[in-house]
């Protein structure tokens, strides 16, 4: 999916919310921070190791949003 001019991970999630209503609450908490059980990778770098939801994006970046999976 092309995100357009999102600028950072937070902006990308906001853009995704426009296309897929309800997805924002699955990725971000009420303080607009990445939920603890969700990992967001920009290229191969975990956004938490960069600037979290303020991690900058540029054309050509590949972003993966991975929720934790548990079960038994």
Distance CA 35, CA 31 (A): 10
Distance CA 43, CA 25 (A): 23
What number of CA atoms fall less than 13 Å from residue 42's CA on the CB side? 21
> Which pTM does this prediction carry?
0.86
Please say if the pLDDT value at position 1 is more than 90.
no
Helical residues (DSSP H) of the chain, grouped into ranges: 9-19, 23-27
Task: Calculate mean pLDDT across residues 54-72.
Answer: 89
pLDDT score of 72: 66
Please say if the pLDDT value at position 5 is more than 80.
no
What residue segments make up the domains of the chain, in order of their start?
9-67
Please say if the pLDDT value at position 4 is more than 70.
no
How far are the Cα atoms of 59, 67, 69 from residue 25, in angstroms, in the given order?
Answer: 25, 12, 17
For 19-43, what is each residue's pLDDT tens digit? Answer: 999 999 999 999 999 999 999 999 9
Q: Looking at domain 9-67, what is its CATH homologous superfamily?
A: Beta-grasp domain (3.10.20.30)
Specify which residues 56 forms β-bridges with: 8
């Amino acid at each position: 999916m092309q995100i357009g001019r999102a600028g950072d991970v937070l902006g990308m999630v906001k853009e995704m919310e426009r296309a897929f209503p309800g997805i924002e609450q699955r990725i971000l908490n009420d303080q607009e921070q990445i939920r603890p059980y969700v990992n967001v990778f920009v290229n191969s770098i975990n956004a938490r190791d960069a600037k979290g939801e303020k991690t900058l994006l540029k054309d050509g970046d590949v972003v993966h949003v991975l929720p934790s999976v548990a079960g038994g």
